[in-house]
Chain A
């Protein structure tokens, strides 16, 4: 391997890591809700779309400055979480997980339709001033790294740190973990399941906003943003559905794996293998660790 090939390998690996973090941003939202309520939220991708649409809509249609539009969107996502708890989850307490999962499929369609009606279907330009393009310093040395993805990685790191403190150190965080461990036991010590659900869906909504901003800055805000959830699934399978660090590490493994596969194996098998390769990689992990890399091992005594 000559120097140029080696640099290219480094470039592919780094790009994979960065792309993986972008997937992790979406996967985080899934993890939060699954961790606190055992619900696989099919609507997480659409929530990212809805949040990004709302952000652009507030800026474009109402002339909000960026900071106010972000606060406004966070308020909308919190209101949405409250509505979801009131209208949907409250009616489905103690139902089978599959029922709750099906309800989130319905939620995805409702949110997508609402986004369409409220903000329209056009491609919207999202410019929050996030740096984009190649990082010049490295580019001049022969390695290409996208600034937007570096920014996303930094944001993800801050978000994970925030979530870690929130879960470990705050009263609400401990209550969330208690609900996640055992609904009945948590209820018996006076934790309000409804409040916890509103909180966790709100946090997932804010995480969706961050994911929507990063992906929307890359491609414009449009309805295909909802499909980024497909990129998060292998990350979840690999990282575990209940682990925040798992979502990050899983994302990076998937990102690097699929990029290396596409660049080095793709040309021999016709290319466009990264999508299915990510799932293959996740399935291979499942063979050895069914709970995922950082998932909780379920031991059931009969």
Chain B
């Protein structure tokens, strides 16, 4: 273990937030959860192994150009330089991928970004655990198969995807096309342009096509409008599944009772009944240092930010242990990510027992477990509940796609695959 004695060396962690603009309602709770957890570590433990965390916020407005500016402006901050970036945008992540390898700063695009970055041999600086969009898509297919009475019953079924017409929204298309080939269901892709305030034509098409299931890869106002439109055409909510970025309180509350039963992907629990939340309240909010409203601690996107901060801080702690110093830099943190193992026992120590899945990252596998569960909205109780176990992804579908896409990236960018032996 590294000495926990207080040190003047600060661990600089820029936060690419979006607290303004059309996507702010989602950006704010994530940023609050991320910042509150790290501030709690500062207040409770004096940082990580005695080194305090210095958060450097930079507003991106969910705008790719601004996100890149934020990266450039903050990467050299402090003695340590930026140790890790969490862009919270697939568009920004795509732009930062080539920069990160030059600057040797890891990018932690937790559950978003470029899926094939799961291949650590080609993308040594990018991590997208605990699961990728492609894994999530295959989990949804399995869930649907289970509800239909077996994967064989998917044959002849029709599954639609309503997606944000952007790099992010298009991510699952190829996976779902492959799954459609394998299981014999019909796949229908319906794009919605930014920001998604008006989707009548899309939902009229769904009304005509009558898909058996609808998936959604949405973000921001697109989610709220889609759920309302689905309710209006009386599409059954328990056959409507959103990606984990389409499954927060923000997305369902405007639809009121009509959103009852809506499903979404999840990789952590909702709620604030965990030890880490208690510590945040005690060490951060009781001192008046909370970044948001106390009564919104535990919302889905708050917990998403919290879990991102937890894994990041654990990667930093691991890096310190590997290199025997707390004066670490981005290269060390990369090593920390590649040796990251947060199992049930560690989650319990962190006050997050059963909060999320155990994660083990390796040099080769930057996606980690790839497991995804489903949560369902209870409109009456106004809360999300996990309603399934964590499914393993269909690696026979995602594996070849990841290999193919990462190889293409390596070829186009003249990247030689590193050895992980």
| A binding-site residues for B, Cβ under 8 Å | 8, 11-12, 15-16, 19, 22, 112, 116, 121-123, 125-127, 132-134, 139, 144, 146, 215, 218-220, 222-228, 231, 258-259, 262-263, 266-267, 270-272, 274-275
Chain B, interface residues (CB within 8 Å), range = 35 or more
B193 interface contact, C-beta 8 A: yes
Question: Closest CB-CB distance, B68 to chain A, in whole Å?
Answer: 22
In the docked arrangement, what's the CA distance between A298 and B256, Å? Answer: 50
Q: Which of B197-242 contact A (CB under 8 A)?
A: 197-198, 200-202, 204-205, 207-208, 220-221, 224-225, 228, 231-234
Contacts of A127 on B, CB cut-off 8 Å? 256
In the docked arrangement, what's the CA distance between A123 and B259, Å? Answer: 15
Contact flags (1/0) for B186-197 with A, using CB distance below 8 Å? 000111110101
Please pick, from A126, A222, A266, A272, the residue contacting B22 in the complex, using a CB distance under 8 A. A222
Say whether A122 contacts B25, CB under 8 Å. yes
Question: Closest CB-CB distance, B340 to chain A, in whole Å?
Answer: 33
Say whether B201 contacts A227, CB under 8 Å. no
B353 interface contact, C-beta 8 A: no
Contacts of A215 on B, CB cut-off 8 Å? 197
In the docked arrangement, what's the CA distance between A12 and B234, Å? Answer: 17
15 extra interchain contacts, Cβ-Cβ under 8 A, other than A12-B204, A262-B201?
A: A15-B200, A116-B20, A123-B25, A219-B197, A219-B228, A220-B253, A223-B21, A223-B24, A223-B25, A227-B195, A231-B197, A259-B200, A263-B201, A270-B191, A274-B201
Task: Count A/B pairs, Cβ under 8 Å.
Answer: 111
Contacts of A259 on B, CB cut-off 8 Å? 200-201, 204
Say whether B201 contacts A134, CB under 8 Å. no
A11, A125, A218: residue with the most chain B Cβ atoms closer than 10 Å: A218
B385 interface contact, C-beta 8 A: no
B19, B23, B24, B254: residue with the most chain A Cβ atoms closer than 10 Å: B254
Knowing A11-B204, A146-B232 are in contact, say whether A123-B253 is a contact too (CB < 8 A): yes
Question: Closest CB-CB distance, A208 to chain B, in whole Å?
Answer: 16
Please pick, from B192, B225, B258, the residue contacting A133 in the complex, using a CB distance under 8 A. B258
Knowing A134-B233, A272-B193 are in contact, say whether A219-B258 is a contact too (CB < 8 A): no
In the docked arrangement, what's the CA distance between A126 and B254, Å? Answer: 7
Q: Which of B286-330 contact A (CB under 8 A)?
A: none
Find the A residue at minimum CB distance from B24: A121
Question: Closest CB-CB distance, A92 to chain B, in whole Å?
Answer: 27
In the docked arrangement, what's the CA distance between A177 and B88, Å? Answer: 51
In the docked arrangement, what's the CA distance between A223 and B224, Å? Answer: 13
Question: Closest CB-CB distance, A2 to chain B, in whole Å?
Answer: 13
Find the B residue at minimum CB distance from A8: B208
Say whether B224 contacts A123, CB under 8 Å. yes
B333 interface contact, C-beta 8 A: no
Question: Closest CB-CB distance, A127 to chain B, in whole Å?
Answer: 7
Chain A to chain B contacts (Cβ below 8 Å), 24 pairs: A12-B201, A116-B24, A121-B19, A121-B24, A122-B28, A125-B254, A144-B232, A219-B197, A219-B225, A219-B254, A220-B250, A220-B254, A224-B22, A224-B220, A227-B197, A228-B197, A231-B197, A258-B201, A259-B200, A262-B202, A271-B189, A271-B191, A274-B198, A274-B201
